[in-house]
Amino acid sequence: MTATRRDHLVDTAARLFAQNGFHATGIDRILAEAGVAKMTLYKHFRSKDELILAALRRRDEAFRNWFRRKVEAGAETPRARLLAVFDVLSEWFEQPDFAGCTFVAAAAEFHPAENPIHAAAAEHKRLLLAYLRDLAAGAGARDPEVLAQEICLLMEGATALAHVCGEKNLTAARHAATLLIDEALAG
């Protein structure tokens, strides 16, 4: 399988996992949609779990790069970027394939925390938190870790509401973030 065919397989799996869940998406469906034989799949992945890990790594890299690029294009200062994360979330929520957070779904389907798939989901969240912490530090927050966690909680809550309830208005989350940022940056 060429790298391109392997990439196509991983991309197909990532899309189907995001749409339908990990356990609910069978290998046969992935193979049919990717146009790959089962024997070829198992030459590159010893198990469905290995394919899931590859799909999560691909999704993590793609999402975090997209997210960072959009945040940084949407605002010039670290403080403004902390608020721009909500504009980017809003854009994500409006995408036709939005189905909530793939990493939350992965963590829910694969536990305990020591499970490699759960661990990959947790790593994605840690990396997003680290980006927010960098923004908070750049903005001059007294405690960048706390501000990053607060913004992250607002993001996670907004994502859950958008997915579960269809509530895609981020006005309340953005307002709460403004209050938290103002407090964190005050004298």
174 vs 62, 86, 151, 154, CA distance in Å? 24, 6, 9, 8
Query: Nearest 5°: phi and psi at 16?
Result: -65, -40
User: pTM of the predicted model, to two decimals?
Assistant: 0.93
CA distance linking residue 93 with residue 89, whole number of Å: 6
pLDDT at 120 over 50: yes
- Average pLDDT of 116-141? 98
Distances (CA, A) of 151 to 22, 110, 129: 28, 26, 9
Q: Tens digit of pLDDT for each residue in 4-55? A: 888 999 999 999 999 999 999 999 999 999 998 898 798 889 999 999 999 9
1 — pLDDT class (breaks 50, 70, 90) = very low
- Residues with Cβ < 8 Å from 164, sequence gap 6 or more? 100
> What 3-state class would DSSP assign to 103?
helix
187 pLDDT tier (thresholds 50, 70, 90): low
- The two counts, helices (H) then strands (E), for the chain are 9, 0
**Structure tokens that stand for 8 in this block:** 């196509």
Q: Which tens digits make up the pLDDT trace of 66-84? A: 999 999 999 999 999 999 9
Burial of 131 (0-12, 13-18, 19+ CB in 10 A): middle
Look at residue 2 and tell me whether its pLDDT is greater than 90. no
What pLDDT is recorded for position 87? Answer: 97
> What's residue 5's pLDDT?
82
Rounded percentage of the chain residues whose pLDDT exceeds 90:
90
pLDDT greater at residue 38 or residue 125: 125
Q: How far is CA 134 from CA 71, 110, 130, 180, 187, in A?
A: 13, 30, 6, 16, 20
Report the C-alpha gap between 115 and 100 in whole angstroms: 21
Residue 36, SS3 per DSSP:
coil
Is there a contact between 109 and 21 (Cβ–Cβ < 8 Å)? Answer: yes
**Among 3.40.50.2300, 3.20.20.70, 1.10.357.10, 1.10.287.1260, what is the CATH number of 53-185?**
1.10.357.10
Instruction: Give pLDDT, residue 3.
Output: 62
